[in-house]
Amino acid sequence: MMGISGFEPTFLVGLEAVREEHGPNLAALGGRRLTGFAIVRFVEDEDWFADCPVVLDFDGVQIEICHWKLDELSISWNSIDTTTAISDWEWFELTPAWSSADERLEPFVGQELREVALLEWRPSSYDLADGTIAVEFVFDAGRFHIANALDENSIDLGDAHPEFVRHPLGCGAPPD
């Protein structure tokens, strides 16, 4: 998909589906260091292509997060090879490439992950994004979350908007 080697997303909708499928593995990331990340940027202007997955590496355990459409979230594990060029890219005039440059994520590299949480968007009034899920990563020096920006990813620093309901997954040993 998107010409990304190894990327075969399985999109889920809703808190329970994401928590059931990925909760134990997300929690097991706790205590690991963020050792790297990769996002897709366009070679020509270095703009982030937010439709592509955000790849985070925690001491050799790679998580790949991608939001799609209005409410779908794919989390995959150790499947994307960010050293391989993105191919089959004829439908867009710019050239995508993996990058490890991002001013939002760079300060977290080398830090130990303290907690992971799922954030559920529950606004006080009608909102098309109601029920969308973000993934939050908490470190001693701060936090960031990867959310659905209505058919693409967003990376936001600090505390989440108050209309997100936080569902901590904790951190612990890998599941059996």
**What are the tens digits of pLDDT across the range 72-111?**
999 999 999 999 998 866 667 888 999 999 999 999 999 9
Output the pLDDT for position 174.
45
pTM over 0.75: yes
* CA distance linking residue 28 with residue 115, whole number of Å: 9
| pLDDT tens readout for residues 120-131 | 999 887 777 788
Task: Report if residue 38 sits inside a domain.
Answer: yes
Task: Please check whether residue 37 lies inside any domain of the structure.
Answer: yes
* Structural domain count of the chain: 1
Q: Is residue 4 part of a domain?
A: no
Instruction: Give the range of the structural domain holding residue 96, as residue numbers without chain letter.
Output: 11-170
> Would you say 98 and 38 are in contact if contact means Cβ atoms under 8 Å apart?
yes
Q: Is residue 176 part of a domain?
A: no
CA-to-CA distance for 152 and 167, rounded, in angstroms? 22
**6 within a domain of the structure (yes/no):** no
